[in-house]
Structure 1
């Protein structure tokens, strides 16, 4: 039996030194205060320390990785490649993220991945491809890396106090806050990042053009950038659709959209279009999937096969075309409908002194110039101090040169070691630092030849110091140094442009016209919902229709391949399609099952189909309750490509039949009680809404329902004239009940 709980038991008391008063209590706080205190620090961390590049062109994850590789000596030309896993492990000393995240960062920086115009990492092994979503990189234990030669320009003079260093996350070592790059890496290689509430997307530019533009802007702040910086240069090549106005907008504001299209060639022998360069923003799989989708939808009929033939030699998408196809016109169509032509959205959002800022090319290069000026000044000042220190020591040697024997005598006659430095200071009139330097000279070096050789440097040092002091006083000389460095970088690392231009006069701007082939067809709809599109030639060869047991052809039309088709279901819905969306077939096949082809709802069946080219005429819906609604076919015309229309007709009473009339015609309706009525469709006024309940066209006897409706042919008219109604009542007014003399027998 369970022990009965004693209500007098006191709540347990926790006695702990770390117990905080008020812990566990519920405090009411505004949601805005909670978001500010909890989410805001995370958002700022993502913006400032993760997602956005800085003026040196790198995100923190890139910078930490490259710096650790530099510290491992992987920039030395004599150093062999190291396993990627080793580099990833070393980088974790600076980057507290997981090894997979660090490795994925490395992958994008490698030559093998082909993401960057100027890769920073020389790679060996499979690093995947930027232009392929299915080509995955190998594990870190299988690949090897070292730094590319261009990284010399990233780390030049980094040990000369050119940039600030800060402790790493566990305070065990120092890391640079920026890299003292000697060229504007921020615009040479692409960079994409998504932060909280903001993003960055910087397109790459040709190195030679960027260096030339930077030099020109340093000489003239009003320089016309378009004259030297022609446009982006993507690693994957392709053609940029040159729009000077849009480029100018990007250069001035940092925002805009640039169109890039693929490069292709046509092999006339194999009837194959070979695409070898695609836009940087897409993948070969995305293009292939879109082309296949268009082929299945019947929007492209000129292609017989499309396959990805990318191999070790590079990207290649093969598109086999049918005989008689113009490859250039087909490619113009594919440019409009597939990612073979894509847009690159520019958003030059860069961190400047810890603050995100969207800038144009002019402002970015101005900021980089200021950053580089500071690097050169700090380097010059650092070197100046070192040379001054060296000169200070050599000046002591100059004094010793006057009397070497005296220096030896002072050292030899000094009884205590601690008195050597003070005695040298007194004997030669030098300070403590100089005396320490003299005292540390090896005995073998205390000779006239050694001292003369060292003293000869004094004049050169004084000359260098004077030049450095002059540089620090004159900003123009600092800029001259930067310009010389940019010229050297351009000379050593520039490469030919990969992305060329389509100028407006070269681009065939075609309107998005419907080039669906038009020809005569016969359309057949069966009672159970099967559809066939048969050409007259094929129909003449075999007129016997293949159908399911018990099925029969309920509708037949002569139309064209461009005819619009409206399929009405028994659930008051209409589905729109085109005859061209269905394959040509033969009478000897079953055809397409419309509910499956057009994705009808579950349990939904086809009632009738209406073909049209101009949406003229009317549909008259007849319901079991004796009402009829006359709806203009224009009500089903849509400006957009909607495939499904709800409330296609009224669902208040079950639909019995629907009759399409281009102009007023005589219609025969019959009831389950054996009565009939003939009237002209012009006697019913059209309704503007598709789901109108209509008007009462016949008064039904008790338990009777409307059974059928059809138009009357000229041959049937004389026989049925006696059943004609003189008028059809308006909605709400009962019709006269027909007498037995008007009764018909159903056949």
Structure 2
């Protein structure tokens, strides 16, 4: 066997780079229409199936048809469709109307039903992503086996790239685009058309999510994200306190987490003794909505508890923004302003192509009518030519010679029924001529005038906002109004006696318990090495024979009695193997 020696850089370039670029360009990163290829193929398939105006069909049927454009497994295609459905609740403006169990974005355990049990169709909102697609407004390319055509992009009439959230992990890069309110995006785009230096924060307050919650709002932080396309912000859940049942009800959570993740973390904190104020926690989520019920112990301050949970669980989470988008086939990280300008450039191209298509159609129609107008000058001559022609194939050439018209005009005249070859019929058709000339003139005045195209875009955006706009779901909480949780606020500060033994056991005993206690219980051969009078809120420093120092809190140890052995410090503080306590003392 021959061995071919190659530099590793050449091998990587030949074998790895094509795969990496395929993932970036054809799979993971969204384009300026706001869709990844898998989304676009699915939605276009549904459009060609007549599911924009027709009734629902089985999801399995949609998945099967989509395979003509997307050669993936049925489960991958169905999962893509699930995310776009109204039932799944991941999008502020879903593209797929659904019937059946499609699970929920905010729940890890509410799995969607199999495709044979569910039904779907395109939502009416999709009329805005397929507008004029049959007018050559976007390029079409061959599908994977060249048996049909599919659009490279969809002619979206609004900046969908900023309305629908998108997340993708490619090779060496990723994209994470949060969703914004449709009305705010439309208003911002209109203002940017009028003034490219428009202050975005005036019309685009912050991202908006289906799961609601509230963003911890810092204007400078948000402005930086808008301008650069990278950065992060914090979002937290919202709750109400049911005083009657002494219970906290959480009905809105961060978009980045799930109900189960929050409950699991709270349960872990309760089990570890780090949260002692909760008596029970229940997931009462169903298909009517999200609900987490937290039962409190008597006397617990719900606000202080929630501050603690915000800090220690994903009830408060960060959303990392990375607005990485494919622009003309190349990945670029762009801010909101730049993304809107790129979309405007794309939309201008769509409208110009659509207007040019209309102009051509109207000119073709006018051309036919002009030929018909020449026939009007001598209808009898036309009838005579047709009647006097022996061969059917010679009718068109003879009409062309007889009236000085071209082949297309002659074909049009030849196809007119004999009963319609009369003056009234021809005059009724020719009445369109002046209207067509006027419409062509108006369209030609628009097609090469960017300002007039801008006016069309503004009008469309205003109509979309009016028709589909919704109030914000995610509210804002200014950073200055946030009450930060600090552990010392939650700690009962009282006097205690701390006993440390030679073997590394620690006892924390209150004065009252100490007065009532008898002899200290110790392991055989062990003895007390130090005793300190301190407070429950103090720090405790523990030194070991490995030269390490561990810092902990006195209150992290349970109050105990003299009759107990206490807590074993190496285990409590996770010492290394064969590491022993040398000395421990409290500090304020």
TM-score by length of 1: 0.74
Structure-2 change in CA distance of 1:512 and 1:562 (3 Å): closer
Per-residue CA distance 1:482-527 (angstroms, 9 max, x = gap): 1111111111110111111112443235666463222233455678
Indicate whether 1:307 and 2:321 are aligned: no
Per-residue CA distance 1:56-99 (angstroms, 9 max, x = gap): 111111111111011111101xx221221111111111112222
Pairs within 5 Å for 1:396-411? 396-411=371-386
Pairs within 5 Å for 1:90-239? 90-239=65-214
Per-residue CA distance 1:120-154 (angstroms, 9 max, x = gap): 11112222222222222222222211111110000
- Contact 1:264–1:273, Cα closer than 8 Å, also in 2: yes
The residue aligned with 1:625 is none
Comparing 176-185 and 566-575, the one that deviates more = 566-575
Distance (whole Å) between structure 1 residues aligned to residue 481 and residue 542 of structure 2: 44
Pick the structure with more helix per residue.
Answer: 2
Distance (whole Å) between structure 2 residues aligned to residue 137 and residue 168 of structure 1: 29
Among 327, 332, 354, the alignment partner of 2:302 is: 327
SS of 1:155's equivalent in the other structure is: coil
Distance (whole Å) between structure 1 residues aligned to residue 515 and residue 403 of structure 2: 123
The residue aligned with 1:644 is none
Tell me by how many angstroms 1:590 deviates.
6.1
Distance (whole Å) between structure 2 residues aligned to residue 232 and residue 322 of structure 1: 36
Tell me by how many angstroms 1:435 deviates.
0.8
The residue aligned with 2:556 is 581
Tell me by how many angstroms 1:554 deviates.
4.4
Distance (whole Å) between structure 2 residues aligned to residue 54 and residue 138 of structure 1: 30
Distance (whole Å) between structure 1 residues aligned to residue 403 and residue 23 of structure 2: 61
- Contact 2:541–2:587, Cα closer than 8 Å, also in 1: no
- Contact 2:545–2:582, Cα closer than 8 Å, also in 1: no
The residue aligned with 1:75 is 52
- How many aligned residue pairs are there? 587
Tell me by how many angstroms 1:321 deviates.
2.5
Distance (whole Å) between structure 2 residues aligned to residue 547 and residue 451 of structure 1: 116
- Contact 1:527–1:551, Cα closer than 8 Å, also in 2: no
Among 501, 517, 524, the alignment partner of 2:476 is: 501
Per-residue CA distance 1:714-744 (angstroms, 9 max, x = gap): xxxxxxxxxxxxxxxxxxxxxxxxxxxxxxx
- Contact 1:82–1:144, Cα closer than 8 Å, also in 2: yes
Tell me by how many angstroms 1:311 deviates.
1.8
Compute the RMSD of aligned alpha carbons.
2.6
Structure-2 change in CA distance of 1:223 and 1:268 (3 Å): same
SS of 2:307's equivalent in the other structure is: helix
Distance (whole Å) between structure 2 residues aligned to residue 528 and residue 504 of structure 1: 48
Distance (whole Å) between structure 2 residues aligned to residue 234 and residue 461 of structure 1: 47
Comparing 556-565 and 498-507, the one that deviates more = 556-565
The residue aligned with 2:21 is 44
The residue aligned with 1:610 is 584
The residue aligned with 1:414 is 389
- Contact 1:242–1:503, Cα closer than 8 Å, also in 2: yes
Distance (whole Å) between structure 2 residues aligned to residue 368 and residue 501 of structure 1: 27
Gaps of 5+ in 1: 1-23, 615-747
Pairs within 5 Å for 1:711-726? none
Structure-2 change in CA distance of 1:258 and 1:607 (3 Å): closer
- Contact 1:565–1:609, Cα closer than 8 Å, also in 2: no
Tell me by how many angstroms 1:574 deviates.
6.9
Pairs within 5 Å for 1:531-550? 532-540=507-515, 543=518
Distance (whole Å) between structure 2 residues aligned to residue 267 and residue 589 of structure 1: 40
Structure-2 change in CA distance of 1:538 and 1:513 (3 Å): closer
Gaps of 5+ in 2: none
Indicate whether 1:429 and 2:404 are aligned: yes
The residue aligned with 1:34 is 11
Per-residue CA distance 1:681-712 (angstroms, 9 max, x = gap): xxxxxxxxxxxxxxxxxxxxxxxxxxxxxxxx
The residue aligned with 2:43 is 66
- Contact 1:125–1:143, Cα closer than 8 Å, also in 2: yes
SS of 1:385's equivalent in the other structure is: helix
The residue aligned with 1:469 is 444
- Structure scoring higher RCO (CA < 8 A, sep ≥ 6) equals 2
Pairs within 5 Å for 1:342-361? 342-361=317-336
Distance (whole Å) between structure 2 residues aligned to residue 530 and residue 113 of structure 1: 53
Tell me by how many angstroms 1:599 deviates.
4.5
TM-score by length of 2: 0.92
The residue aligned with 1:338 is 313
Pairs within 5 Å for 1:550-561? 554=528, 557=531, 559=533, 560-561=535-536
Tell me by how many angstroms 1:447 deviates.
4.1
- Contact 1:155–1:180, Cα closer than 8 Å, also in 2: yes
Structure-2 change in CA distance of 1:254 and 1:528 (3 Å): closer
Indicate whether 1:252 and 2:236 are aligned: no
- Contact 1:113–1:129, Cα closer than 8 Å, also in 2: yes
